[in-house]
Structure 1
Amino acid sequence: MYELERITARRSELDALAEELGKRLQEVQAEREELVIAERVLHRLAERGRAEAEAAVAQAPVKVQVAGRAVLLIPHRGDSPDEMALPGDYRRILAIVRAADGPVQVRTVGQELVPRQATFALLARDGPSMQTAPHGVDRAGPGC
């Protein structure tokens, strides 16, 4: 009967060990599931960060020098479709086009954007070769 007692004792030891290992296995599986979720969250955050960085680079306005002024090469477009988000020159162009009764030529818009005195100053600076006269009128002026 001594063997039967040994077998029973060993079986109860193994049952206790199996119970302890089962609990430990559940804890390990729960921790693994938490780690899988944490990994997914980190991947999503990294993807979002990359997408935001790429969008910021793609939407970054580029400034260039035009006539001594820094202007945007391509105007920055934000999420707001509001006209007030546009640069001042663009808003003035829209106002000129809206004020017209029909289609507007670029020349007309340019004439309204650049004041008349500034136009004459540009013509005087560039010299008479840049000036144009009405048809049939000598550049030097009438009666010269």
Structure 2
Amino acid sequence: MLDPELLERITARRAELDELEEQLATQLARVRAERDELATAERVLERITGQLAEERASAGPMPGQVGGRAVMLIPHREPGVEESSLPRDYQRIITAVRQAAGPVMAREVGEVVGSTSP
């Protein structure tokens, strides 16, 4: 004859394990759902980053307003931004500074690129 106390313990332990299994299954489902969401977010981020890089590469400098005056907005310095995306005058300034033998005064740069300083 089976010991009723042992059978009761086995039944109680089985119930505990069934409950634990249910909790773990729920937790595993949440983990998998979050992992899927992260993978989707990563793909969207990669796509948007690529689109932004293409837009920046194809867009030239944009005119803007500062203090009521028209100015040329310069792209932020970041990897992948080419000098060719700068306005022509800025490219000329860079060339003048690179060609200088040493430190350059603003007046000297202005003379090289064709403007005069007071």
What TM-score comes out, normalization by structure 2 length?
A: 0.46
Larger radius of gyration: 1
What TM-score comes out, normalization by structure 1 length?
A: 0.40
Q: Which has the higher contact order (CA 8 A, sep 6+)?
A: 2
